[in-house]
Chains A and B, each alone.
Chain A
Amino acid sequence: MPNIYEHQGRVAVVTGGNGGIGGAIAKRLAAEGAVVHTLDVQPAGADGRFHALDIGDEASVNGVFDAIGAEHGAIDYLICCAGIYRPQPFLGLSLDAWRRTLQINLTGMFLCCRAALKYMAPRRFGRIVLFSSMAARTGGKNVAHYAASKGGILGLARALAVEATADNIRVNAISPVITDTPMPRAVVSEEYLLSRKEQIPLGRIGNVQDMVEACLFLLGDDSSYMTGQELRVNGGSTLW
């Protein structure tokens, strides 16, 4: 069993904090006694402290992280869940749509990591979890931009893991398979969503609890010798 007090008092920033996965992580961390700030584009409440912003906008990201860093004198955890999923056939994929997906999903994580590291490095402590996707490995129809952005996240996680380890900052990624959240429901039918379990050896699609447990494992001391890794929480759907 992990140490039940290890998240107590940690200052955590969760992006995509109103989403299915981000929201559940924020709620769990708050329940474990962390000080949780959630970031999202949607102007709605969530557990902990809420900041509305465009995650792809440099000035906004820096402003929010500087405010959090100033308030607490620390940022211990960064969990990046913010992302958009807007499938488009490749020949119909506009440069604007391509850029928007890369801007939110990949550049947004770069900006948040850089802004958070500024507060982690001087205190020689930091734990970063970036949400990629199995699409980074498998690709898929109509998701060239999404798959490219998620592949980029794995590269970012590895490079940052190597660079930040000297400051006792660990960086790992989680790649979910299709998960029972509002995000896929915006673009696929309920029927299709549930039918995906046929291709998953464990016989179901993912749920937010699976991702919460994986994330807490990577934030906590149970993974103290892991950095630059990708945890594939996918029910066995892809074994590489």
Chain B
Amino acid sequence: MVAAEHPRVTVITGGGSGLGQATAIRLARNSDQVCICDLKAEAVNSTAELIRSAGGSVLTGVVDVREQSQVNSWIAQVIDKFGKIDCLFSNAGVNARAMVTNMTLAQWSLVIDTHVTGTFNFCQAALRHMAPRNSGAIVITSSDFAIVGVANAANYCAAKTALYSLTKSLALEFAPHIRVNAIGPGPIDTPLLRANRTPEEFAAARRAFEARLPMKRLGKPEEVAAVVDFLLSDRASFITGQLIQPNGGQVMW
């Protein structure tokens, strides 16, 4: 493995909110050149504003991760500007809860395509630049639900399990020079966790999580960002193909 030349160029998808935003802020503070994209322009701009006001450097993009042409052209911009990609945090995600019998194909495809095809698109585009340099690290946002199921989220569980499998395949395919790991966050207090829930429903969900979790609290996005930072760094230079779970003890295997 070759140590990244300063500044490290780090690409983050889903950088407009939640885990992507917290990670972008943390890595920019570490003086990475961060490149963040999101489906929503205002979201990605608000993260960029937070980074710039703290003195960090950020490139933004509005990208639908499902669309390979959009992914490739934004990655081309990153390469044009910075000449390399050292790290990728493939994190863009979405949820569309429904019982399987009521789940539309659109709901199924939205979740599968965003997580799985989106991560494939970004990994392929980034690895084409990492592989020739024999250097790089990738973290993919999987979930505890890659290990345990949950009702009314068959699409989400299937997607997250696919991401764990993809992680393992990529780890083997690109060893020894490039490391690929997954994270399996538990319930983290992010906009995604609040999405499609009324405040009352979120409060009830939160109480249910807190009762069930050994740590009795939701995680904070910054607590996941710290794990992503660790996995992308040389501190984890002997860790690859693993699922690392900042999950409050929700799943212990």
Contacts and interface: CB of A to CB of B under 8 A. Distances in A.
Real binding pair: yes
Interface of B: 1, 30, 168, 171-172, 175-176, 179, 185-186, 188, 214-216, 219-220, 223-224, 226-227, 229-230, 235-242, 244-249, 252-253
B245 A226 contact: yes
B206 to A, nearest CB: 15
A225 B223 contact: yes
Contacts of B238: 202, 204, 206-207, 210, 233-235
B235 A217 contact: yes
A150 interface: no
A213 B234 CA distance: 9
B242 A232 contact: yes
A173 to B, nearest CB: 10
B226 A201 contact: no
A158 B252 contact: yes
Most chain B CB inside 10 Å of its own CB: which residue of A162, A201, A226, A230: A226
Contacts of A225: 185-186, 188, 215, 219-220, 223-224, 227, 246-248
Interface in A202-222: 202-204, 206-207, 210, 213-214, 216-217, 221-222
The majority secondary structure among interface residues of chain B is loop
A161 B251 CA distance: 11
B249 A165 contact: yes
Nearest to B185: A225
B239 A232 contact: yes
A67 to B, nearest CB: 31
Contacts of B241: 201, 236, 239
A227 to B, nearest CB: 5
B230 A217 contact: yes
Contacts of A158: 252-253
B212 to A, nearest CB: 12
B239 A214 contact: yes
Contacts of A214: 235-236, 239
A7 B214 CA distance: 25
Interface footprint category on A: 35 or more
Interface of A: 1-2, 158, 161-162, 165-166, 201-204, 206-207, 210, 213-214, 216-217, 221-236, 239
Contact of A210 (B188, B223, B237, B242): B237
Given A214-B239, A227-B215, A161 B249 contact: yes
B171 A236 contact: yes
Given A223-B246, A233-B238, A236-B171, A228 B226 contact: no
Contacts of B168: 239
A165 B185 CA distance: 18
Given A1-B229, A210-B238, 15 more contacts: A2-B226, A158-B253, A165-B216, A166-B216, A201-B241, A202-B238, A217-B230, A217-B236, A222-B227, A223-B246, A225-B185, A225-B215, A225-B246, A225-B248, A227-B214
Contacts of A206: 238
8 shortest interchain CB distances as A-B pairs: A201-B175, A203-B176, A228-B252, A210-B238, A222-B226, A225-B223, A236-B240, A213-B235
17 contacts: A1-B30, A162-B214, A166-B216, A202-B176, A202-B240, A214-B239, A217-B230, A224-B223, A225-B185, A225-B220, A225-B247, A228-B249, A229-B244, A229-B252, A236-B241, A239-B241, A239-B242
